[in-house]
Amino acid sequence: MNKITTKKQVNYSIPKVGTTVLTIDNHMVVIQIQIGKITIEDVLLDGGFGINIIIEQLRLRLGLPKLKLAPYNLKMVDQIIIKLVGLIKFLKIYVHDIPYITTFTVLHNNVIDSSYSMLLGKPWLRDAKVGHDWGSNTITIQGNGIIKKLLSLNVWEVK
């Protein structure tokens, strides 16, 4: 089975403000998925996103189908409007052997400053009925009559 990964180790120096130390969440929820026979090892889960995202470069590497026209633009947190590359509708992905059909919004490669090239947001999180145990950083997913508990593939390290 082929594997695609864009994992990067991220080192942070933690700034001090007065006598309070600011901490950075190093428990991002990251899982692996399969598309066809290819495994993508570092897919970020983010309940703050109302869409699922894939970067154009990864879409091309995976040989995914022709894009549909996106009927909307994306407004970022800083209020910048991003023109989308397009949509991939009805894409079958597998998460720990559970199949899901979902839609991905395709972004240009330079839009998001991130080491992740794929993100699963609210649409997939709802479909998979994802539950997150913050203490153990595990998630529970459901689909096809199956329930599985997964440990996040945390790739962030704080030094």
- Rounded CA-CA distance 135/133 in Å is 6
pLDDT score at 113: 62
* pTM greater than 0.85 (yes/no): no
pLDDT score at 138: 87
CB 144 within 8 Å of CB 99: yes
Domain ranges of the chain: 26-151
The CATH number of the structural domain formed by 26-151 is 2.40.70.10
Query: How does pLDDT run along the chain (159 residues), one tens digit per residue?
Result: 445 444 443 333 333 334 344 444 556 788 999 999 999 988 999 998 999 999 999 999 999 988 999 888 888 778 888 889 999 999 999 999 999 999 999 998 877 666 788 999 999 999 999 999 988 888 999 999 999 999 887 544 333
